[in-house]
């Protein structure tokens, strides 16, 4: 199975959203190249002051002739170093409440004024970057959705990201046995009753994720858009990845402390699963408020112009 990671923002997030919200010209221009892998996309949402509170982005886009000038800083931009295009969330009106003044663009990552600086992670990779935008020009035809309608596009991208089909562990051949379990079968670890119990619990959990994924895919094939239920998928996917990494480390014994151990990268990657794509706490908030209908948490900046609310916290 080839590694499809580089292509996922295009195929799983920006592509489906262009099909839902893009113009015909935009779909013609980008979607085919996303599907063929000819062009790689990255997601430019997070900023130093806008992660969980994503609607707080402060990268500006200001009208300039037949396009826009972008200024600001993005961070944690996975694939940023080698991406051709970025789906980039900007602020186009600071004088309205934060969700109402945002606009989404497709940014050519090789435009003048785009500087990408890779960041090194604790697992040794540097797959994400910080990106500085200094008067980068974007033609208006690269605006995705309505001017000031960027929050709608953001929610659509995030829903696709969280419902994404890559959450459960890969299986072996045509079976439902996950790769991690196939690696443990026949090892001394499974002779230990406590580890065997943990393994089987995790297998059962993983299987529920796989089946939920199949349901999500069936819904998408039937033309239904993913909604807040993707947060459950995101949460369980992170829990499964972390439990798997911890189980394998326990089974690996002292050797698992060494960097030449097979599961080393997974072990050091595991904590990030609860952060990327929105943290566990944010997924729990979404599930509580939008699925269970529980009272929402206090939000004092919803009806205040962004520029005013921002001065309040500065
Ligand atoms: C490996 C990796 C890859 C990433 N790739 C990308 C990418 O390609 N593109 C991109 O745009 N971003 C990317 N991100 C960024 C990621 O989306 C953010 O890190 C994430 O949304 C959290 O934002 P933050 O880091 O600013 O933390 P903060 O928002 O500052 O959160 C700090 C802590 O406070 C908690 N918290 C915050 N608000 C609440 C609340 N209302 N209720 C309860 N708890 C709360 C959080 O759960 C967290 O524990 C990536 C991150 C990682 C780790």
pLDDT at 173 over 80: no
C-alpha to C-alpha distances, 31 to 41, 117, 193, nearest whole angstrom = 11, 27, 50
Nearest to 85 by CA among 53, 131, 21: 131
**Cα separation of 227 and 204, whole Å?**
25
Query: Which residues sit with their C-beta closer than 6 Å to ligand 1?
Result: 42-46, 51-52, 76-78, 128, 272, 275-279, 281-282, 285
Pick the residue with more confidence: 166 or 153?
153
**Statement: residue 303 has pLDDT above 80:** yes
> At residue 145, what are phi and psi to the nearest 5 degrees?
85, -170
pLDDT at 226: 82
Residue 166 banded pLDDT, cuts 50, 70, 90: low
The catalytic residues are 161
In the predicted model, what is the mean pLDDT of residues 70-91?
Answer: 98
| Cα separation, 286 vs 293, whole angstroms | 9
The residue among 218 and 22 whose pLDDT is bigger is: 22
Please name the residue that has the structure tokens 């090789």: 110
Task: List the beta bridge partners of residue 170.
Answer: none
What separation in Å is there between the alpha carbon of 274 and the centre of ligand 1?
9
Give the Å distance between the CA of 29 and the centre of ligand 1: 31
Q: Is the alpha carbon torsion for 261, 262, 265, 266 positive or negative?
A: negative
Return mean pLDDT, the chain.
91
The confidence score (pLDDT) of residue 66 equals 98
More confident residue, 237 or 213: 237
216 — pLDDT class (breaks 50, 70, 90):
confident
Atom of ligand 1 nearest to the CA of 285: 42
pLDDT band at 123 (very low <50, low <70, confident <90, very high): confident
- pLDDT average, residue stretch 103-119: 98
Place of tokens 């393994």: 199
pLDDT of 255 > 60? The answer is: yes
Most confident of 138-152, 209-223, 284-298: 138-152
Query: Can you give the pLDDT at residue 184?
Result: 85
Distance 173 CA to ligand 1 centre (A): 35
Say if residue 46's pLDDT is above 80: yes
Best residue among 14, 271, 275, 278 to mutate for probing ligand 1's pocket (most ligand atoms within 8 Å of CB) is 275
Given pLDDT bands bounded at 50, 70 and 90, which one contains residue 168?
low
The residue written with tokens 């974007």 in the block is 138
Confidence of residue 267 (pLDDT cuts 50, 70, 90): very high
More confident residue, 94 or 183: 94
Q: Is the confidence at residue 114, as pLDDT, over 80? A: yes
Residue 55: pLDDT over 80: yes
How far away, in angstroms, is 4 Cα from ligand 1 center?
A: 23
**Mind listing the domains of the chain with CATH numbers?**
5-156 (2.40.110.10), 179-291 (1.20.140.10)
Q: Is the pLDDT of residue 1 over 80?
A: no
Is pLDDT of 175 > 80?
no
Q: What is the mean pLDDT of residues 91-98?
A: 97
The mean per-residue pLDDT over the stretch 173-177 comes to 73
**Index of the ligand 1 atom closest to the CA of residue 42:** 8
């Amino acid at each position: 199975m080839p590694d499809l990671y580089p292509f996922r923002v295009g195929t799983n997030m920006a592509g489906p959203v262009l099909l839902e919200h893009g113009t015909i010209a935009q779909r013609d221009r980008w979607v085919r190249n996303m599907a063929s892998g000819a062009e790689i996309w990255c997601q430019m949402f997070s900023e130093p002051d806008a992660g969980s509170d994503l609607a707080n982005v402060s990268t500006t886009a200001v009208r300039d002739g037949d396009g826009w000038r972008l200024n600001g800083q993005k961070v944690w931009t996975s694939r940023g170093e080698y991406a051709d295009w970025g789906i980039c969330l900007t602020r186009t009106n600071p004088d309205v409440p934060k969700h109402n003044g945002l606009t989404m663009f497709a940014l050519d990552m090789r435009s003048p004024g785009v500087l990408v600086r890779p960041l090194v992670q604790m697992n040794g990779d540097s797959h994400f970057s910080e990106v500085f935008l200094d008067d980068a020009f974007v033609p208006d035809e690269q605006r995705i959705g309505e001017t000031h309608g960027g929050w709608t596009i953001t929610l659509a991208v995030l829903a696709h990201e969280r419902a994404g089909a890559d959450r459960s562990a890969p299986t072996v051949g045509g079976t439902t046995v996950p790769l991690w379990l196939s690696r443990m079968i026949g090892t001394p670890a499974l002779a230990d009753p406590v580890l065997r119990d943990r393994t089987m619990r995790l297998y059962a959990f993983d299987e529920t994720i796989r089946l939920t994924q199949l349901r999500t895919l069936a819904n998408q094939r039937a033309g239904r858009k993913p909604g807040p239920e993707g947060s459950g998928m995101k949460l369980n996917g992170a829990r499964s990845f972390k439990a798997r990494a911890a189980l394998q480390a326990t089974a690996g014994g002292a050797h698992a402390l060494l960097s030449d151990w097979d599961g080393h990268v997974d072990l050091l990657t595991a904590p990030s699963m609860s952060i990327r794509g929105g943290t566990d706490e944010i997924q729990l908030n979404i599930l509580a408020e939008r699925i269970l209908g529980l009272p929402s948490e206090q939000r004092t900046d919803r009806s205040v112009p962004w520029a005013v609310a921002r001065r309040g916290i500065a």
